[in-house]
Structure 1
Amino acid sequence: MPRKRLYLILRPRSYFDWGSSGASVTYPSRGLVIHYNGPATNLRTHSDCIAYWKRVRRDHMAGNGWADLGYSWGACRHGEVFTGRGLHRYQAAQGTTRGNSEWYSVTLMLGGDEQPTEGHIQAVRDLRAYLMARGVGGAIRGHRDFVSTSCPGDVLYDLVLDGVFGAKGNGNPSSGGGSGMTSVRPIRSQQTAVNSLGHNPKLDVDGLWGPKTEAGVKWLQGKVGVTADGLWGSATEAAYQAAGGDAPTQVEVKVPPFPLPRGAYFGPKDGPAESVSGYFSHRSDLRRWQKQMLVRGWSIDADGLYGPQTARVAKQFQREKSLGVDSLIGPATWTAAWTAPIT
Structure 2
Amino acid sequence: MIKLQDIRNLTHGGSSKRLLTRITSIARHHSATTSGDYFSFWNGRWKSLGWKTGGYHEIILPDGTVQLCYDPNVITNGISGHNTHAYHICLVGNGEFTEEQEKSWKERANLNISRFKLAIKDVKGHKEYSGANTSCPGIDMNKVRQRLNTVCKKINLTKTGDAHVDNSTPTLRRGSKGVAVGQLQNLLIINGYSLPRFGTDNDFGAETLAAVRAFQRDKGLTVDGIVGPKTWAELNKKPSNQPQYNRLLRITSPMMRGDDVKEVQRKLSVIIDGIYGPQTEKAVREYQRKNKIDIDGMVGPVTWSKMFS
Q: TM-score range by the shorter chain?
A: 0.5 to 0.7
Separation in 2, partners of 1:253, 1:177: 27
Aligned amino acid, residue 76 of structure 2:
Q
1:326-341 paired onto structure 2 within 5 Å: none
Using the size of structure 2 for normalisation, the TM-score is 0.53
Task: Specify the alignment match of 2:31 in structure 1.
Answer: 37
- Of 109, 116, 121, 1:128 maps to 109
Tell me by how many angstroms 1:89 deviates. Answer: 0.6
Greater relative contact order (Cα < 8 A, sep 6+): 1
Change in CA separation of 1:131 and 1:181 when aligned onto 2, cut-off 3 Å: same
Residue in structure 2 matched with residue 26 of structure 1 by the alignment: 18
Q: Counterpart of 2:26 in 1: which secondary structure?
A: strand
> In structure 1, which of residues 101, 105, 110 is the aligned counterpart of residue 84 of structure 2?
101
Larger Rg computed on CA atoms: 1
For normalisation by structure 1, the TM-score amounts to 0.48
Q: 1:145 Cα shift?
A: 2.2
SS at match of 1:223: helix
Query: Which stretches of structure 1, 4 residues or more, deviate above 3 A after TM superposition?
Result: 19-23, 132-136, 183-189, 216-220, 234-239, 243-248, 251-254
Partner of 2:255: 287
Instruction: Look up the equivalent residue of 2:27 and give its one-letter code.
Output: V
The whole-number CA distance in structure 2 between the counterparts of 1:73 and 1:82 is 5
**In the alignment, residue 28 of structure 2 is paired with which amino acid?**
I
Change in Cα spacing, 1:153 to 1:194, as seen in structure 2 (3 Å) is closer
Structure 1 distance, partners of 2:7, 2:246, is 40
Where does residue 297 of structure 1 map in the other structure?
none
Distance 2:7 2:72 in 1: 11
SS in 1 for 2:101: helix
- Tell me how far apart the structure 2 counterparts of residues 189 and 61 of structure 1 sit (CA, whole Å): 35
Q: In the alignment, what sits opposite 1:65?
A: 50
Aligned-residue RMSD, C-alpha: 4.6
5+ residue gaps, structure 2, are 156-173, 201-206, 218-224, 239-243, 261-275, 279-309
| Structure 1: runs of 5 or more not aligned | 1-6, 44-48, 171-175, 204-208, 227-233, 255-283, 293-301, 305-343
Residue deviations 1:8-54 (CA, integer Å, cap 9, x gap): 4221116xx8256434122342231001123xx234xxxxx4xx432
Mapped to 1, the partners of 2:126 and 2:216 lie a distance apart of: 42
Q: Is the 8 A contact 1:27 1:101 kept in 2?
A: no
**Contact (CA 8 Å) 2:187, 2:236: kept in 1 or not?**
no
- Once residues 64 and 186 of structure 1 are traced to their aligned partners in structure 2, the CA distance between those partners, rounded to angstroms, is 40
Q: Matched residues in 1 for 2:183 and 2:62: separation?
A: 32
What corresponds to 1:190 in structure 2? 187
How many residues get paired?
215
SS in 1 for 2:139: helix
Contact 1:8-1:127 within 8 A present in 2 as well: no
